[in-house]
Structure 1
Amino acid sequence: MMKFKRLFFSLLLLAAGALSNIASADNYSLWINGRTGGGVVGNYNSFTYWGPATTAAGVNKKSVNWDGYNSIASQNGKIRDALDCFCTGNNWCYIATHSAGDLMLGYTLANYGSSSRMKKNATANASGQCGNSDGTSQTGWNIKWVRAASGAGGGSELSDAGSWAISEPLVKDLKTTTARAMYNHNNTANVWFYMYAGAKGTVYSSILPGQDDEAVAYHSSGGVAGSSGSSLCNPSDWFCNDLAMGTAANEGGSVKWSFHSVAFRDDNEAYNHYANGNWQGIISVVRSAMVSSAL
């Protein structure tokens, strides 16, 4: 009888532990900034780049801050720290990126998406690193999907032309041929990238081919494959091939990278590139999608 009681209580403890692990599972909404940065690196509650931190932006929102100045490779550890913190173990992530944040995350998944990661406890120190949860590891991260606002995974002709400060290491990475050759854009560790392409350009953005949002052209914000940028537009433009919705090939035959799908095309030319300190521009469209879908 005593052995039976010990076995019974042991089973109860195991069950309680299992329930505890289930109860501790959380979903997080990670926001990865682009060029110029602004948020405090390592502080996942610093939303300076985006707008007021009180604004709804998906369940358990976290700002994954990097300096937005140095190279993708040199800053990439900041992104891996955040993914380890919030996207391992029982926890899952929804991810939103802006501009060069798309290039940053694409680089991360292509190079580290199948690597061994220690499961973390989602409690970060001042450097943005979390402690181990149970001492076990997993392959890659738990990511439900990515929504990219004006994704610069294909680079920008503003970088090619020197319209941005050419001394910035990140600007060198953002040259169209450099960005497109930096990693295998088709390798996303099977994570879907949903692309949001803005089209409210200005006169100086004539440097950018086709439709653009003042900083990034449709060939990049639409996740279009190839070694260099191409000219793609809205259906209302008769002198330019259309950027197709979803995963469909574009007019003229160009295709998207694997696991890339156009979720929003700015047919009314209403959204530019910039947050303006208040979640504006094409970011506002992604924020609305995060609020409704990142639950």
Structure 2
Amino acid sequence: MKKDKKETAGDDAQHAGSDYHIPVLYNEVLDNLVIKADGIYVDCTFGGGGHSRGILSKLGPEGKLIAFDQDADAKKNLPDDERVIFVPHNFRHIQRFLRLHKITQVDGVLADLGVSSHQFDEAERGFSIRYDADLDMRMDQRQTTTAFDIVNTYSESQLHKLFEQYGEVTNSKTLAKKIVEIRKAVSLKTIHNFKNALQGVVKGNPNKYFAQVFQALRIEVNDEFGALKEMLEQLPTVLKPGGRAAIITFHSLEDRIVKSFFKKGTFEEEEEHPFESKKIESLMKPTTKKPILPTDEEMKRNSRSRSAKLRVAERVDAIKN
């Protein structure tokens, strides 16, 4: 069967920039955003531009795409398209920059969280345990705090909390104590030095262990959870009634934040009170009970999609009793 021009454009969009980052759950994102030809859409994490190109392939000449990315490298992937407005900043400032561009509300918002393949594969960025480089992990190179600054200056209790909460590291207390002891005598500035100095406290599979440790450091360096929460809180304001938000997460901590906000309109756990029924209603209504997962075919094609979960919610017009 011959594909029509629009389908071919969509296929090309999916693979464009794939050397930088293969967009996960590509078709699922486009289907669930229910894109209108004349709509205004936001891609909070432009990266290689795969998802953005897919959105553009469904927009007409009057449509608009606002692409956010704090990583300077992402700008190299921008298509030559007058419908695109690029914002080189963190998506936590979504409402502020939409207003600067005289946009009050949009039809859809996409965020593909975590680290792009490009960031993992660029050894000097310090995101990956596979290479030796400075312990950096900054998504925005304009900021000053690196992963090395954190391991070199945080107190034992701060490090313990960080590895326990953001990395779910089993022996986070022991790890924190070891870092504080060893940094007085050994420089932990590089990935090689860091891993080598801590071999004695590694529990289980070293690759998995250090992946959890690096995840915790990366989240802290980039204030990923703070940025995610700020962006989610702005969705009911920036989305038009009926507009949709599609958020792709890659670990349970992120997913929990998104799930909670879409379901309850808050990040806090609800407390049981025998005499009060204080329920916060969310203006965001999930479109599916469970997250959308990648197909077996996609997981075979792109191993980095295996842990991906897509949650979609629609902005409701008003709270219904």
Q: Under a length normalisation based on structure 1, what TM-score does the superposition of the two structures give?
A: 0.34
Report the structure, 1 or 2, having the larger helix content. Answer: 2
